[in-house]
Amino acid sequence: MRMTPKVVVVGSFSILAAVVFVMVCWPYAHRDMTPSEIFRPRTLVEAAGRAIYVKNGCVYCHTQSIRVVDWGHGAERIAQAGDYVGDRPILLGSQRTGVDLSQEGGEHPDDWHIAHFVNPRYTRPNSIMPPFKWLGMESLNTLTQYIQSLGMKKADVRMARQRYWKEESIKAYEAGPDVNAKWLADIVPEGWRNLPNPYATTPAGLKRGQFVYQQFCIGCHGPIGDGMGPAQPYIYPPPLNFTILKGREISGGIIYYQIMNGITGTAMPYFKRELESQKIWEVGDYVAVYFINQSDANKDPCGIDASWEPYDCPDGAEARQRNR
Amino acid sequence: MSSTSQDTPKTYKTARAFCLTSAFWFTMATSAGMIGAGYLMAPDFMANIEWLHFGRIRPIHVNINLFGFVTPGLLAAAFYFLPRLLRTELYSERLGIVSCVLWNIFVFAGVIGIAIGYTQGREYAELAWPVDILVGISFGLVVFNLFMTVKQRKEPILYVSIWYACAAVLLTATTYCIGNVIWRPDTGALLGIPDAIILWFYGHNVFGLLLTPLGLAVAYYVLPLVCRSPLYSHTLSLIGFWSLLVVYTHIGTHHLLQVPVPTWLKVIAIVDSVAMVIPVMIFLINIWYTVKGKLGVIYADIAGKFIFTGTIMYFFVNIQGSIMSLPQVQRVTHFNNWVVAHAHLGVLGFAGMTALGGLYYILPKITGKPLYSRFLADLQYWFVLIGVVGFTIGLTIAGLIQGNAWIIGETLYRTLPEIHIYYVARASTGLLVAIGAYLGLYNIFRTLFFNPGVSK
C-alpha cells in the first residue's frame, strides 16, 4: 500500500466519519428523552445552584450515577436515562472521591449542608472535601437548594419529611431540656426503649467507642459531648448536649436507635449504612459513660452471655435461673 | 546519530518555540498537580482560595498536561522531523511561530478561565467557547503548516511518522469541535445521556487520536535513528496505523458501561477496547524488533531512554486499559483511584515520557550544540520514572481498596481513612515528577538560550 497524502487524509477522515456516524450520530438519532417517573424540572434557584456546582468542579469528586453494584446512599434508585433529560451538561462524573449525589436531596436538612459547606469536617470529620466558606452564605444557600433537589420527586418527598420533623424537633428543643429529653426518648419504639446496652463496659470497648465518636460525632457534639462542636453555630436545633441526659432513664437502646436511625429534621443523620451493630453500641456506651455519666451496659435482661464477653452479666445469675 | 543536521541552514524556530512551550507548561502542570494532591492529603491546605480549590485545580492540571505539556512537546518533534523526513523546509516558520503563540494564549486563557469559573464542566472539554475557537484556530494553523510542508516535499515516500502526525492533528481538530459541541456556544453540551456519549467519544480520542498517534510518530522517528536500525516492518506500520484509527475511535463508551446507554454501544466499546491489543502489539512488535539487540545504545542515549521507556509504559497502560474495559473488572475499578493511576500511566508514562524524549532528541539538532546538561536530563528521567511508577502503584492500591470496599458494602466515608496514606504516597512521588519538570525547564532553557557548549 502506497501511503500518499491523499490516502492518509481520505482514509483517516472516512474512518472517523464512519465511527462518528455509528458511535455518536446513531445513538443521538435514537435517543430516548422520555422523562422517568421521578423526573421534574428544576426551579430557577435550583438551576442557579447547579451553575455553581458546575463552576466549582463539584463533578470531579461527586458522581450522579447510581450503578447496579452500588450499596451506598441512593442505591435504591438505579439511574435511568429518563432521570437525566433536563441535564445540560450531564454531570455523571468519573470519580467518587466523595459520595454519589444522585439521591442526596432531603438526605439532610438545609442547615446540615450549610455547616458542611462551611467546613465539611464540621459535620463529617472524615471528609476530605475542601471548605467552601468562601462562596458566601447567599451562594451556599442557592447551592444547597440544588443539592436538595437531587433525586427530583423522590427528593421532594424526603424534603417534606425533613420540614415536618424540623418543626417538631424545634418545638421540643424550645420547650426546654426536660421536654426535649422526653421527646427524644419517646420517639424511639418501645422495644428499644427498654433495652440496655448488651455490651459490657470495658476499657477496650470504650477506646473503640471513642474512635468511632471522633470519626463520626465530634464535629457536632464536640470533644466533651456538650453539643458545642464546630458545626454548632450553623445548626438549629443545635446538637444535643449529652450532659443534660443524666437521670432521665436514657437506655442504651434509645441511644442505639437514635444513632442508627438518626433524627430526621435535625442535623443528626442516620448511621445505619456507615456503622455496624457493635460500633453503634460501643460509641453509645462511650457517650453514656463519659458524657452522660450513667451507663446501663451489661445490665439485665442479658440472656446468655456471649462467649467472648469479659464479665458475666451481673444479673446473669438471675437470668440463668429464670431461663432454666 | 545523524550527521546531516547541518545540511541545510534550517532555523527550526517553530520547533524551538514548542519545546519551550512544553517545558514551561510541564512545570505548571505538575505544580497544579501538587496543589491538587495537597488537597486530597489535607483538605484544609490552602483553604478557601477560590481559584485554586480542588474542583478548579484538577481540570487546570488536566488541561495543561494535555494541551500545554504533552501535545506541544510531541508537536515540537513533529515540526522538526516532518521537514527532515520530507527533505524540505517547514512551509512557514512565521506561521509556525504564530500558531505556537496562539497555542500558548489558548492554554493560558483556558487555565485562567477555569480558575475564575468559566468552565463547561465536562471532563476534557472544560474550556469555554471562545477558548474552543482559539484551540480550533491553533490546530488549524498547525494542520495547514504541516500539510503544506507535505505538499512541497522533495521526498516521494511518506514515512510512518508523517502519517501519524498528519492524521493526529487533522482528526483531533475535528473531534475537538464535535466533543465540545462547538455549535452550542452557550453551554457546549447536549442534553441528557447523548451528552455523555459525545463527551466520552471525544474525551477518549484526546488520547486515541492526539497523544497516541503523535507519540507513536515520535517513537517511530527517534528509536530507529538512535539505534541506526532500519524499521523492522513496513507492513506492520501500515496495519498498526489503520487498525489504530479504526479501533481506538470506538472505545470511548467504555467510560459509560455502568450508565443507561444502549447496550450495543457498550458492546462495541468493550470489543474494541479489547481489540486495542492489535494496534498496540503491532506497534510494539515493530518498534521492539527494530531496536532488538540495541538496548545498550538506547540506554546510552537520553532521548532513546525516555522514548523506549515510553513504549514499555504504552504496553502496560494498554493491556491495563483492555482489562479495565471488561464489565466484571470495572465493577471494582470504576469511579476510584485505579482510573487515576491508569490516566497518569498513559499521559505521563507513555505520552509525556515520549514527548520529553522527543525534546531531548531534537534539542541538540536544532541548536547545533549538545544539551546544556546531560546529567540534569538523566536526573529528570529517573525522577519522572520513579515518580510515575510509584504514583501508579500507590494509586492502583488505593483504587483496589476503594473499589473492593464499596462492592462489599463499605460506605465511602469508611474507606477515606484507609486510603489516606496512599494520597500521601502519591503526593510524595508526584513531588519527584514536579522537581523533574523544573529541572527539565532549566535544562531546556539553558540549551536553547545560554548554552556554553561548543557547536558541533
Q: Output the domain CATH number for residue A266.
A: 1.10.760.10
Q: How far is A127 from chain B (nearest CA, A)?
A: 7
Considering the domain architecture, whether residues A152 and A181 belong to the same structural domain is answered as no
The verdict on a CB contact (< 8 Å) between B192 and A88 is: yes
Distance (Å, rounded) from C-alpha B351 to C-alpha B417? 33
List, for residues A233-264, the tens digit of each pLDDT value: 999 999 999 999 999 989 999 999 999 999 99
Considering the domain architecture, whether residues A147 and A181 belong to the same structural domain is answered as no
Backbone phi and psi for residue A18, each to the nearest 5 degrees, phi listed first: -60, -45
Q: Give me the mean pLDDT over the A64-89 stretch.
A: 93
Distance (Å, rounded) from C-alpha B260 to C-alpha B2? 55
Q: How far is A176 from chain B (nearest CA, A)?
A: 34
A190 pLDDT more than 50: yes
pLDDT for the residue A300: 75
Considering the domain architecture, whether residues A251 and A278 belong to the same structural domain is answered as yes
Instruction: Kindly give the interhelix angle for B263-275 and B302-324, rounded to the nearest 10 degrees.
Output: 140
pLDDT for the residue A236: 95
The verdict on a CB contact (< 8 Å) between B413 and A33 is: no
pLDDT for the residue B10: 73
Q: B382 Cβ partners below 8 Å, 6+ apart?
A: none
Of B317, B297, B316, B314, the C-alpha closest to B305 is: B297
- Chain A positions touching B261 (Cβ under 8 A) are 27, 81
Taking CA–CA distances from A85, the nearest residue in chain B reads B192
Residue B455 falls inside a structural domain: no
Percent of chain A with pLDDT strictly greater than 70 = 97
Residue B4 falls inside a structural domain: no
Q: How far is A222 from chain B (nearest CA, A)?
A: 19
Look-up of cell digits 467504555: B254
Q: B188 Cβ partners below 8 Å, 6+ apart?
A: A89, B120, B122, B125, B128, B129, B132, B180, B181, B182
CATH code of the domain containing B240: 1.20.210.10
Q: Domain residues for B283?
A: 13-448
pLDDT for the residue B6: 44
pLDDT for the residue A74: 86
Residue in B59, B117, B258 nearest the CB of A65: B258
Distance (Å, rounded) from C-alpha B146 to C-alpha A232? 63
User: What letter does residue A62 receive in the DSSP assignment?
Assistant: -
Residue burial A49-72, b: 16+ Cβ < 10 Å; e: rest: bbebbbbbbbbbbbbbbbbebbeb
A82 pLDDT more than 80: yes
Ramachandran sector of residue B124 (left: φ over 0; alpha: ψ -120 to 50; beta: rest): left
Residue A36 falls inside a structural domain: no
Residue in A4, A27, A97 nearest the CB of B197: A27
Q: What are the distances in angstroms from CA A272 to CA A105, A258, A262, A277, B295? A: 18, 10, 9, 8, 58
Cell of B256: 459509560
Taking CA–CA distances from A32, the nearest residue in chain B reads B193
What's the number of domains chain B is made of? 1
The verdict on a CB contact (< 8 Å) between A134 and B416 is: no
Q: How many residues does chain A have?
A: 324
Q: How far is B276 from chain A (nearest CA, A)?
A: 15
Considering the domain architecture, whether residues A193 and A307 belong to the same structural domain is answered as yes
Taking a C-beta distance cutoff of 8 angstroms, is the pair A298, A196 a contact? yes
Helices assigned H by DSSP within B276-350: 277-290, 295-300, 302-324, 327-333, 337-344
Classify B192 as helix, strand or coil: coil
User: What letter does residue B256 receive in the DSSP assignment?
Assistant: G
Percent of chain B with pLDDT strictly greater than 90 = 95
pLDDT lower than 50: segments of chain B:
1-7
pLDDT for the residue B454: 65
Distance (Å, rounded) from C-alpha A142 to C-alpha A155? 16
Taking CA–CA distances from A129, the nearest residue in chain B reads B43
Residue B112 falls inside a structural domain: yes
Considering the domain architecture, whether residues A154 and A207 belong to the same structural domain is answered as no
Report ipTM (2 d.p.).
0.94
Distance (Å, rounded) from C-alpha B363 to C-alpha B37? 32
Residue in B39, B160, B245 nearest the CB of A12: B245
The verdict on a CB contact (< 8 Å) between A79 and B260 is: yes
Indicate the residue type of B126: E
Residue A143 falls inside a structural domain: yes
- Chain A positions touching B189 (Cβ under 8 A) are 88-90
Indicate the residue type of A87: D
Distance (Å, rounded) from C-alpha A255 to C-alpha B16? 70
Taking a C-beta distance cutoff of 8 angstroms, is the pair B22, B440 a contact? no
The verdict on a CB contact (< 8 Å) between A19 and B414 is: no
Q: Domain residues for A104?
A: 44-158
Considering the domain architecture, whether residues A187 and A299 belong to the same structural domain is answered as yes
Q: Give me the mean pLDDT over the A119-139 stretch.
A: 96
- Chain B positions touching A51 (Cβ under 8 A) are none
Taking CA–CA distances from A92, the nearest residue in chain B reads B196
Q: Which has the higher per-residue pLDDT, A178 or A74?
A: A178
Residue B453 falls inside a structural domain: no
Q: How far is A38 from chain B (nearest CA, A)?
A: 15
Q: Compute the mean pLDDT over every residue in chain A, rounded to the nearest whole number.
A: 93
What's the pLDDT band for A306 if we cut at 50, 70, 90?
confident
Residue in B119, B198, B417 nearest the CB of A54: B119
Neighbours of A1 (CB within 10 A): 11
Taking a C-beta distance cutoff of 8 angstroms, is the pair B58, B126 a contact? no
Q: Give me the mean pLDDT over the A40-65 stretch.
A: 97
Residue B456 falls inside a structural domain: no
Considering the domain architecture, whether residues A131 and A241 belong to the same structural domain is answered as no
Residue A206 falls inside a structural domain: yes
pLDDT for the residue A316: 57
Taking a C-beta distance cutoff of 8 angstroms, is the pair A209, A283 a contact? yes
- Chain A positions touching B170 (Cβ under 8 A) are 9, 12-13
- Chain B positions touching A4 (Cβ under 8 A) are 158
Taking CA–CA distances from A71, the nearest residue in chain B reads B409
Taking CA–CA distances from B208, the nearest residue in chain A reads A16
Residue A19 falls inside a structural domain: no
Considering the domain architecture, whether residues A206 and A290 belong to the same structural domain is answered as yes
Q: How far is B188 from chain A (nearest CA, A)?
A: 8
List, for residues B272-294, the tens digit of each pLDDT value: 999 999 999 999 999 999 999 99
Residue in B167, B199, B238 nearest the CB of A1: B238
Residue B2 falls inside a structural domain: no
Considering the domain architecture, whether residues A230 and A138 belong to the same structural domain is answered as no
Considering the domain architecture, whether residues A183 and A232 belong to the same structural domain is answered as yes
Indicate the residue type of A36: S
Residue A138 falls inside a structural domain: yes
What's the number of domains chain A is made of? 2
Q: What are the distances in angstroms from CA B238 to CA B74, B158, B231, B277, B283? A: 21, 12, 12, 16, 10
pLDDT for the residue A307: 80
The verdict on a CB contact (< 8 Å) between A92 and B259 is: yes
Considering the domain architecture, whether residues A139 and A231 belong to the same structural domain is answered as no
Distance (Å, rounded) from C-alpha B292 to C-alpha B439? 31
Residue B454 falls inside a structural domain: no
The verdict on a CB contact (< 8 Å) between A131 and B44 is: yes
> Quick one: CA torsion of A69, A71, A76, A80, rounded to 10 degrees?
-30
Long-range interactions of A285-289: CB distance < 8 A, separation 24+: A285/A197, A285/A199, A285/A201, A285/A205, A285/A206, A285/A209, A285/A252, A286/A206, A286/A209, A286/A210, A286/A212, A286/A213, A287/A209, A287/A213, A287/A217, A287/A225, A287/A242, A287/A255, A288/A197, A288/A250, A288/A252, A288/A255, A289/A201, A289/A206
Residue B3 falls inside a structural domain: no
Considering the domain architecture, whether residues A201 and A296 belong to the same structural domain is answered as yes
Of A235, A236, A279, A288, the C-alpha closest to A260 is: A279
